[in-house]
Amino acid sequence: MPTPLETPLRIEKLCKSYGSTQVIKGLNLEVAANSIHGLVGLNGSGKTTTLDCILGMQQFNSGQVEVLGLPPSRLHQAEGAVIGIFDTPSLHPGLTVRQSLRHARLLCPRPTRTCEQVEELLGITAYRNYKVRHLSLGNKRRASIAHALLGDPQLIILDEPFNGLDAEGVNDVLELITSLNRNHGTAFLLSSHQLPYLEQICSHLAILHDGMIAVSDHIDSLFNKDHARVQLTCDDPVNAIQLIEKSIIARVESGEGQQLVCELLEGDAAALNGLLVGKGIGVSELVQKQDSLMSLFYEITADRSQTANAG
Domain spans in the chain, listed from the N-terminal domain onward: 9-222, 229-289
Q: What is the pLDDT of residue 112?
A: 86
Q: What is the pLDDT of residue 140?
A: 87
Look at residue 299 and tell me whether its pLDDT is greater than 90.
Answer: no
State the chain's mean pLDDT as an integer: 87
Superfamily designation of domain 9-222: P-loop containing nucleotide triphosphate hydrolases (3.40.50.300)
DSSP 3-37: PP-S-SEEEEEEEEEETTEEEEEEEEEEE-TT-EE
Look at residue 309 and tell me whether its pLDDT is greater than 50.
Answer: no
Average pLDDT over residues 98-126: 91
Q: What is the pLDDT of residue 44?
A: 81
Q: What is the pLDDT of residue 291?
A: 66
Domain 229-289 of CATH type 3.30.70? yes
Q: What is the pLDDT of residue 224?
A: 59
pLDDT tens digits along 226-269? 557 789 999 999 999 999 999 989 989 888 899 998 988 887 88
Calpha distance 191→182 (Å, rounded): 20
Q: What is the pLDDT of residue 298?
A: 80
Average pLDDT over residues 60-76: 94
In contact, 23 and 211? CB cutoff 8 Å:
yes
- Residue 136 vs residue 35, higher pLDDT: 35
Look at residue 305 and tell me whether its pLDDT is greater than 60.
Answer: no
Look at residue 106 and tell me whether its pLDDT is greater than 80.
Answer: yes
The dihedral built from the CA positions of residue 40, 31, 185 and 118, taken in this order, carries a sign that is positive
Strands 204-209 and 36-41: parallel
Q: What is the pTM of this model?
A: 0.75
pLDDT tens digits along 23-54? 999 999 999 999 999 999 888 889 999 999 99
Look at residue 190 and tell me whether its pLDDT is greater than 70.
Answer: yes
In degrees and rounded to multiples of 5, residue 32 shows phi and psi of: -80, 155
Calpha distance 198→67 (Å, rounded): 22
